[in-house]
Structure 1
Amino acid sequence: MTTLSGELNAVGVLRGGARTATERAVESALDAVAQWAGRAIRYQPVHGGLQNENWRLDVEGEQSPYFLKIPGAGSEAFIDRDNAHHAAAQASALGISPKIAHFDSSTGIEIIEFLEDYRACTNGDMKRPEIAGEIIRLYRAFHGIDSLPCTKTIFDMIAEHHDQAVELGIRLPRFWPQLELEYRTARDALLAGGIDLVPCHNDPMPGNFLIAEGKPMRLIDFEFSSNNERAYELAVMTTEFFYDDVRTAECVEEFYGTYTPELFARVQVCGFLADVKWGLWAIVYAQLNDGWDYDYHKYGVWKLRRALSRTSDQRWGSWIGSI
């Protein structure tokens, strides 16, 4: 951390001392920040990101550290960086996201303030009702910003990932034809009922929510943000963290300000769509980037299988019929 005298503690790598390709990439990113030219900067990795390389920066003359994000290989196939920056800037203006110090539209490299007292949520945190309530508070605030440059509904996302899988020659699971039939039924029902389009964050990974004792939660990472169906925002959270019907119903009431069976059904159907989307995303990403120590293909197939299992619920037909 930078001291009051402007000297740096000997933590991390001092700019100019890069020894690996990854460290050289960090220094190249720092060289593009004109206001920091000639300043001593130390950098150290921040672990936990799935797609990107993340770093903490301690900059000479600055009282607080910064957070550097370098996009991972292959992520450009999914992400509109200018749209993500636009969303982050609006969220920052609302006070629900860190301040932005630097953004390079040509590379997607972003530097934001490092919230020293905060930590990223964990899977365990997401089971706590008060955490879910804070997330819903952030979502409701974000839904009120101006429309984003990118309108990409859940249907657009699924179609995009499916086309990517076909182009890459990826063999989809043998149950895909049955799942695709159910998907088309759900899509047609939602489109017939009308889409409730609002700016959505679309990515409830625990690490995207920062918490600190006695301070409001902060929302980060707007790479998947777009104008999308409002119910999907809640559905992808309740689905990702295995909320049961009671907890999901409570979230529906908090999210919408009321509970109705129709709203509950809409969230359940969008939860199905969330698993289809992220299942396809994962198997495509596994093909585009083999540098991660994680079996994205296996994860994707599991997501698709879980989506299909939801259609076995005896209420599935009534959910489709009521949206």
Structure 2
Amino acid sequence: MSSDPSPVTDPALDAVLDRVDVLAGVPRTVVPLPGGLTNRNYRVTTRDVDVVVRVSPPTTGLLAVDREAEFRNSCIAARAGVGAPVVDYLPGRGVLVVGFIPDTRTYADADVAANLDRVAQAVRRLHEADPFANRFSMFDIQARYLRIMWDNGFRMPEGYVDLLPEFERVRTALHAHPEPLVPCHNDLLAANFLDDGETVWIIDYEYSGSNEAMFELGNIAQEAGLDDDALASLVESYLRAPDPVATARAELWRVASAYGWTLWGTIQHGASEIDVDFWSWAMEKYDLARAALGSRRVERLLDLVGEGR
């Protein structure tokens, strides 16, 4: 976790920090952390503690984030040795406090591609943790996001709804022979991996929940822009053996996640106050999904996955 060297003073933020037991009533330095597409993140240091405080705006309620589940799952991931230690949580206020992990670098997409085996090991540690508090379904999330788009009159990507039948075919194939559910992060863009040289840590459990392992790997590939060969290598590293059916499932989940997360971006485009070009972010995902859905490659994947094992 790297930090901006310029401290900030904000009375509203100070009022929030005063509600955190380890930060209340003591001198502290507050530095904003870069990144964060949903929340405001700050590194807060005192004489005794060094923590990251995540403050979520009210608009994240549109994005299907279960804050209570996030807190509980963050604690589980910390106990598994893959997530940062949880220091405090303010229910109903969108505030989560975790320990700052020192001497780490935040991954970019190229780092994910260069560290597939280490990424797979970190993901496997998470998936072997105690059960998570909730279930995550990309198909349910996408349906919820679509209703929010219609209800709020947000700008819809051209042709998005026309692809729903192809998306449904992917759902049917993946549900025909479901995999066991494991504790999943479900939002592993590169910036959610931290590397201290020995351990790859996984942070930010907003969308965490029980899910299929191949969703996690397919979504990593989608977020980091991994090609088909790299995704196959990631699956092989994770399973410790090649598996054509598992790789096909991961590829289909990559497409499904791109189609679903497209609407996350368009909702943010319509509702978020964060200064990010969410429309362009969403269109990158939509271009991937639009090119894949109905393609010959996806047809072959559907056949392979539909046959099961």
Q: TM-score, normalised by structure 2?
A: 0.91
Structure 2 CA distance for partners of 1:24 and 1:252, relative to 1, 3 Å: same
| 1:300-311 matches, cutoff 5 A | 300-311=282-293
Q: Please state whether the residue corresponding to 1:124 is helix, strand or coil.
A: helix
| 1:185-204 matches, cutoff 5 A | 185-204=169-188
1:56 correspondence with 2:43: yes
Question: Deviation of residue 319 (structure 1)?
Answer: 0.6
Question: Deviation of residue 11 (structure 1)?
Answer: 6.9
Question: Deviation of residue 286 (structure 1)?
Answer: 1.3
Question: Deviation of residue 185 (structure 1)?
Answer: 0.7
Q: Please tell me the residue identity of whatever aligns with 2:27.
A: A
Question: Deviation of residue 195 (structure 1)?
Answer: 4.2
Whether contact under 8 Å (1:154, 1:228) holds in the other structure is no
**CA distance in 1: counterparts of 2:112 and 2:22, whole angstroms:** 38
| 1:104-123 matches, cutoff 5 A | 104-123=90-109
**CA distance in 2: counterparts of 1:315 and 1:89, whole angstroms:** 40
**CA distance in 2: counterparts of 1:315 and 1:296, whole angstroms:** 29
Question: Deviation of residue 26 (structure 1)?
Answer: 2.1
Q: Please state whether the residue corresponding to 2:169 is helix, strand or coil.
A: helix
Tell me the residue number matched to 1:28.
Answer: 15
Q: Please tell me the residue identity of whatever aligns with 1:209.
A: F
Q: Please state whether the residue corresponding to 2:200 is helix, strand or coil.
A: strand
Runs (5+) with no aligned partner, structure 1: 1-9
Tell me the residue number matched to 2:231.
Answer: 248
Give the one of 217, 220, 223 matched to 1:237. Answer: 220
Q: How many residues align?
A: 300
Q: Please tell me the residue identity of whatever aligns with 1:74.
A: T
Whether contact under 8 Å (1:11, 1:42) holds in the other structure is no
Give the one of 204, 224, 241 matched to 1:258. Answer: 241
Tell me the residue number matched to 1:284.
Answer: 267
Q: Please tell me the residue identity of whatever aligns with 2:14.
A: E
1:71 correspondence with 2:56: yes
Question: Deviation of residue 253 (structure 1)?
Answer: 1.0
Q: Please tell me the residue identity of whatever aligns with 1:31.
A: D
1:157-198 residue CA offsets vs partner (Å, 9 max, x unmatched): 111111111111234233224311110111111112224322
Whether contact under 8 Å (2:77, 2:126) holds in the other structure is yes
**CA distance in 2: counterparts of 1:160 and 1:169, whole angstroms:** 14
Tell me the residue number matched to 1:4.
Answer: none
Structure 2 CA distance for partners of 1:171 and 1:30, relative to 1, 3 Å: closer
Q: Please state whether the residue corresponding to 2:275 is helix, strand or coil.
A: coil
Give the one of 163, 185, 203 matched to 1:179. Answer: 163
Q: Please tell me the residue identity of whatever aligns with 2:264.
A: W
Whether contact under 8 Å (2:105, 2:195) holds in the other structure is yes
Whether contact under 8 Å (2:186, 2:216) holds in the other structure is yes
Greater alpha carbon shift after TM alignment, 260-269 vs 218-227? 260-269
**CA distance in 2: counterparts of 1:72 and 1:51, whole angstroms:** 8
Q: Please state whether the residue corresponding to 2:191 is helix, strand or coil.
A: helix
1:99 correspondence with 2:94: no
Question: Deviation of residue 84 (structure 1)?
Answer: 0.6
Whether contact under 8 Å (1:88, 1:222) holds in the other structure is yes
Structure 2 CA distance for partners of 1:39 and 1:171, relative to 1, 3 Å: closer
Identity %: 24
Greater alpha carbon shift after TM alignment, 36-45 vs 280-289? 36-45
Whether contact under 8 Å (2:41, 2:52) holds in the other structure is yes
Give the one of 154, 160, 163 matched to 2:138. Answer: 154
Question: Deviation of residue 293 (structure 1)?
Answer: 2.3
Tell me the residue number matched to 2:190.
Answer: 206
Q: TM-score, normalised by structure 1?
A: 0.87
Across the aligned residues of Structure 1 and Structure 2, the Cα RMSD in angstroms comes to 1.9
Q: Please tell me the residue identity of whatever aligns with 1:50.
A: L
Whether contact under 8 Å (1:282, 1:299) holds in the other structure is yes
1:138 correspondence with 2:122: yes
Question: Deviation of residue 235 (structure 1)?
Answer: 0.1
Structure 2 CA distance for partners of 1:36 and 1:295, relative to 1, 3 Å: closer
Structure 2 CA distance for partners of 1:48 and 1:321, relative to 1, 3 Å: same
Question: Deviation of residue 245 (structure 1)?
Answer: 2.2
